[in-house]
Chains A and B, each alone.
Chain A
Amino acid sequence: MKRQRLRQLKERAIKAFFLANGLLSIFVLLGIFALLLYTAVPAFRDIKIGEFLTTKLWDPTSPLKPVYGILSQIMSTFLVTVGALVIAIPVGIGVAAYLSDVAHWRVREIVKPVVEILAGIPSVVVGFLGIVLVGPFLAKISGQSHGLNALNGSILLAIMSLPTIISISEDSLSAVPQAYSEASLALAGSRWQTLIRVKIPAALSGIIAAVMLGMGRAIGETMTVLMATGNARSFPTGFFQSVRTMTSNIAIELGEVPYYTTHYYALFAIGLVLFIMTFIVNLIADVVLRKYQEREL
């Protein structure tokens, strides 16, 4: 009997060990949030939150008075993200639809790993190509004097979000019950009509989740926009303008800011805003996905 109890204790200890590991993720997430918050809060001793979020000018090293406004950066992030989605959503859903409904299974087996290759290209390489290939090309065809602008950033971000959008949308489309498509075809719908009017609406939640995740990726991308969008601090008014996203701004200034100054804390405040944004986007994707799974049951 003692052996039995020892064994049970051991089992419980092991279970506790694994439980601790399980809880790890929660702790890490909370930890990141907490440390960001802790390091960002001192910034707001000298900066008013309202001004922080609504002022266009970011000039912490201004010879006049330091100004900490991130509205231009928020707008820049927004601009390149929207631009990226405008490209990546139709193309991504198109490819997903093709893979799930039109392609021969052999084509699928080849294309899926190829899309994963695209996903595997490091962001610094994409940024590099933005400087040496895409930017100059854009400049040439648009008649602008250079290609380091929001459009360049959007195209590159689209390339980076596409694999996410494609693979998750394709999974969702494939998961639509056969019965739905069969019913539509039985009623003399063409495959195209079935796709557009039955399958895509049925998979819509999964597709929305895919888009949200792709959007999260675009918002959080750092190296690509850092290298290819020109990093001008002005408030963006068009796609041919050089922009500076929140992520670029942190990457540019973190290396040179003296620790524990208002400027330092302000950079962490930007990080906090970013964290909250991507958290919300991921939360929405999560909720949508869960609704979708529940409906399937």
Chain B
Amino acid sequence: MSNKMMKIAVVIQLVIALAGGMLLLGQKMLQVKGSDTMVNLVQILAEKYMEKNPKQPIAVLGGGSGTGVTGMLNGTCEIANTSRDWKQKELDQAWEKGIKPRFFAVAIDGLSVIVNEKNPLTKLTMDQVGAIYRGEVKNWKAVGGPDMKVSLYGRQSNSGTYVFLMEHVLKNKPYSTDMKEMNGNAQIIEGVLADVGAIGYVGVGYIVDKETGKPMKGLKVLNINKDEKAEAFSPLDKAAVDSGAYPVSRPLWMATNGTPKGTAAGFLAWIVGPEGQKVVEAEGFYPVGGKLMEQNLKNLK
């Protein structure tokens, strides 16, 4: 047998061996997919949980709320993170596939509207934000700002934040096609930091500098009011977010198929418990209380 034949034979054998490895149980990790708003938070939650439970590996992937929902529908993840409610169409598709999603509110987010610090504006009404993102307002002076073109930064259609904003602030009308659709919260922040005419929307956990507890340098967080007459609140104001006075707040959800089992059960129970909620606060989001927490505890069973 010539050298070459030997080499080919070895290669084929390697392939078979590696393929055989496929059948061996690769230790199955808990797959968590979805919201980019939540990915950092859930990654840190997973890291901390795994420190205490090293035999329960958890893989946290982002991709946007839409990806999480798709993952659950396609059977490629056990927990789906979404920063918005599931759409009726998605729930229908789940039921068709025999999937019964159960929802856990793991944190509260005050969705924040940010502009570059050089922009003198300090507040906007919900309607104004909607008009800007629908493309109806193209220059800052129309809303009381400087004479400067509005440079829109937003997310892509797989983002729960994108959908949430569209439903609640854009009144279910489409976004302006001039909006630069960034890959994640952090890219929006990067854009706003560098662009004086920029406006962006991000989860509140992203704008706080973890070390100082204050908003990141270079960014300005706008206060939002429900309408012209109401008082404008900041998303950093915990009381305002809790009471609903800050009009753009939302729960962040983790969904499982039916009752959570195994690692998923342990992980979720820990997240909604005191330790997990402390981590949520440390990451800049708000802990869950009241009725939502009651429902969480019920859903664990």
Contacts and interface: CB of A to CB of B under 8 A. Distances in A.
Nearest to B159: A256
B273 interface: no
A234 B197 contact: no
A212 to B, nearest CB: 31
Interface residues of A, number: 28
Contacts of B166: 63
A252 interface: yes
Candidate in A61, A139, A252, A259 with the most chain B CB atoms within 10 angstroms: A61
Interface in B148-202: 149, 151, 156-158, 163, 166-167, 172-174, 176-183, 191, 194-198
B67 A256 contact: yes
A230 interface: yes
A220 to B, nearest CB: 20
B24 to A, nearest CB: 28
> What range describes how many residues of B lie at the interface?
35 or more
A134 to B, nearest CB: 13
A57 to B, nearest CB: 7
B66 interface: yes
B1 to A, nearest CB: 14
Contacts of A256: 63-64, 66-67, 70, 156-158
The B contact surface, by secondary structure, is mixed
B208 to A, nearest CB: 24
B157 A60 contact: yes
B80 to A, nearest CB: 12
A2 B53 CA distance: 71
A145 B149 contact: yes
B179 A259 contact: no
B243 interface: no
A258 B64 contact: no
A22 interface: no
B73 interface: yes
A104 B73 CA distance: 63
Given A61-B163, A63-B166, A258-B69, A252 B151 contact: no
A181 to B, nearest CB: 44
Contact of A59 (B73, B93, B174): B174
A121 B181 CA distance: 26
A253 B174 contact: no
Given A230-B180, A252-B156, A255-B63, A64 B174 contact: yes
Interface in A136-167: 136, 139, 145-146, 148
A232 interface: yes
A242 interface: yes
B157 A234 contact: no
14 contacts: A59-B177, A145-B198, A230-B181, A231-B180, A232-B177, A233-B177, A234-B177, A255-B67, A255-B158, A256-B64, A256-B67, A256-B158, A258-B74, A258-B93
